[in-house]
Amino acid sequence: MIVPAMSSSVQATAASTVPVMFSFGPFPGDPSVPSAPGTAASAVYPQGQLPTTVTPGLWTAVPSQVGPYQAGGAPPATASMTMSATTRTFDTTVTATAGDFWRFAVQPLAATASYSLFVIAPGQTRTIVVTIDPTAPAGTIVRGALFVNDFVESLQFLAGSTLHALPYKYKVG
């Protein structure tokens, strides 16, 4: 699952015909969050009430049967996994010339989400044009924040971070 920047928690659940458990987290790396064993195993990050940042990027989870097994090995079984993230709402009225990779986390890849990666070297600047096309009724006051994020895509991992938040407020005319 792709977890977007500005997420506050990630949950994973396995449903299986035999007891399973799993560990889940960003790929590759930490944290590695274990589940309790069971036919309905689940885990959440962060655990408890600790305020912490959720690593944006690709998160994975793979269920494994809980042993010990009989002499013939592990019995045949089926399992399904679901994952979800609690994240800030994406304002679909906002578009940028650079696109937004993190929308892929909440929209199908073939839908309207698009991005155009570019590199900004030290000492360079880049202008990104942002368009807001409000859909709220006239007179509505809209508040939000434009987040400037970086993004790393490689053969080894997919990740990013929030570099800056630009708050905005306007009244729909």
| Residue range 110-161, pLDDT digits in tens | 555 566 777 888 999 988 899 999 999 999 999 989 888 887 776 666 777 8
Give domain limits for the chain. 2-87, 94-171
pLDDT of residue 111: 59
pLDDT of residue 119: 80
pLDDT confidence bin for 14, thresholds 50/70/90: very high
Residue carrying the six token digits 């304002």: 91
* pTM recorded for the entire structure: 0.78
Q: Is the pLDDT of residue 78 over 90?
A: yes
Residue carrying the six token digits 């792709």: 2
Residue carrying the six token digits 């809980």: 66
Tens digits of residue pLDDT in 50-64: 667 788 888 999 899
Q: Is the pLDDT of residue 109 over 70?
A: no
Q: How far is CA 44 from the centre of its chain?
A: 13
Between residues 48 and 88, which one has the greater pLDDT? 88
Can you give the chain as a three-state secondary structure string?
CEECCCEEEEEEEEEEEEEEEEEEEECCCCCCEECCCEEEEEEEECCCCCCCCCCCEEEEEEEEECCCCECCECCCCCEEEEEEEEECCCCCCEEECCECHHHHHCCCCCCCCCECCCCCCCCCCCCCCEEECCCCCCCCEEEEEEEEEEEEECCCCEEEEEEEEEEEEEECC
Q: How far is CA 89 from the centre of its chain?
A: 12
Please state, in angstroms and rounded to a whole number, the distance separating the CA atoms of residues 13 and 88.
21
Tens digits of residue pLDDT in 81-94: 999 999 888 888 88
pLDDT of residue 114: 61
Mean pLDDT of 32-59: 86
